[in-house]
Amino acid sequence: MRIAVGMSGGVDSSVAAYLLKEQGHDVVGVTLRFYKEECPENARVCCSPKDVQDARIICDILGIPHITFDWENLFKERVIDYFIKSYKTGFTPNPCAICNKDVKTAFLGFYLKQAADIDFLATGHYVIKEDGKIKRAKEKDQSYFMALVPKQSLEYLMFPIGHMTKQETREIAKKINLPVANKVDSQDVCFLKGMSLEDYLSQFIEMLPGDIIHIETKKVLGKHKGVHRYTIGQRHGLGISYHAPLYVVEKDVEKNIVYVGEKEHLFKNVITLKDYNKIEDFEKDNMYIQIRYNSKPIPIEHVEEYENTLKVYLKEPATQVAKGQVGAIYNNDILLGGGIIS
C-alpha cells in the first residue's frame, strides 16, 4: 500500500515510518512547517524548523522520500487565530484537538488522498484502531485528541504504534540507531515557543484589572490582573483571602469579572457539547465523558441529542468544566465522538 507518514521529527512518528517500511509498504514521510524561526532549546514543542530537519534526517536513514509542506498561513488561520479568539471570548480552547481536525491529521489525510492518491495517512499517535473503531491505547493514550476528527477521515488514518508502550517505541529506535531515540516528547502548545500562556496572550489581548467576586454572596474579594489569565477550577494565585478555599468558577469577559466560590460551585451534573462530531452510535450502558486530556473519565447517565448539540447527563458531578475544552465520549474504550464544551 502507499502510505504517507506524518513525520514530526520525534521518536513516535519515526518508528511508525520504520515499521511500515519493514512491512513492505510504499512509504513517504510528510512534514508540516508551521513557522520559520527556531524555538528555544528548552521549549518542548513540535513542528519547529529543527523538527523538520530531524524528520528529513530520519527519512534519509530509513531510505524513504521526504516532503515538507509550508502550511504556516493555514496553521495561523485555523489554529492560532481560533486559539486567540477563544480566549478573547472567555473560552479555554484545546488547540491540539483543533489542529488534528483542521490541519495536521484529518485535513492532511484528505489533502494527500486527493493530491497524491495515498491509501492511508499514518501518524505516531498512541491510538488503537480495530475493526474501523478508535480505541484507547494501553499507555500514553491519545485517542482524546481524535474526538473531533470526522468518521470519514478516520477511515484512511492508521496508527502503527498504538499497541506499543513508549518504552517499546524507544527500544526499537535505539535498536536501529535512530538519532531521535532519546528525544524529549513535545508537551507545550507549539506556537507558544516556550513563552508562558500569559505572556503570549498579552500580545493580542489587553489584560485589564477587574473585580474578583464571590459567586454566591456577590461580595468583592479583590482584584484580578486580567480575566483571560484565569482558568476554571484555579485555586492558587488569586491573591485573595477567605475563611475557606476558593476556586475560579466563572468568568464574565464583557463585565471583566472573575467569579470565585467554594468547591461545590464547580460541580456540574450536565455538560453541553456544541458542534458534536459523531463517530459511533451511542450505547445505553458504560458510556463515559473525558473533559481534559489525562483527566479521569466520568460515567454518563444518558445523553440528549439536538441539532449540532449534545447534552450529557452525568452519574456523578464533574469539576473544572471549562468552556472551549473538548469533551470526548467513550463506550468502555471505544471513542464515540466529541464536541466543544459550551
User: Which residues are annotated as catalytic?
Assistant: 99, 190
Asked if 75 contacts 100 with a C-beta cutoff of 8 angstroms, the reply is no
Q: How far apart are CA 311 and CA 270, in angstroms?
A: 7
**The pairing of beta strand 120-122 with beta strand 157-158:** parallel
Closest CA to 147 of 303, 10, 280: 280
Q: How far apart are CA 325 and CA 19, in angstroms?
A: 34
Alpha-carbon distances, residue 118 vs 2, 41, 114, 156, 221 (angstroms): 5, 35, 8, 9, 59
Q: How far apart are CA 12 and CA 152, in angstroms?
A: 24
Residue 177: φ, ψ to 5°: 60, 45
Closest CA to 232 of 219, 244, 208, 215: 215
Q: Which residues pair with 303 in a beta bridge?
A: 312
Closest CA to 312 of 266, 276, 265, 264: 276
CA contacts within 13 A on the Cβ side of 114 = 6
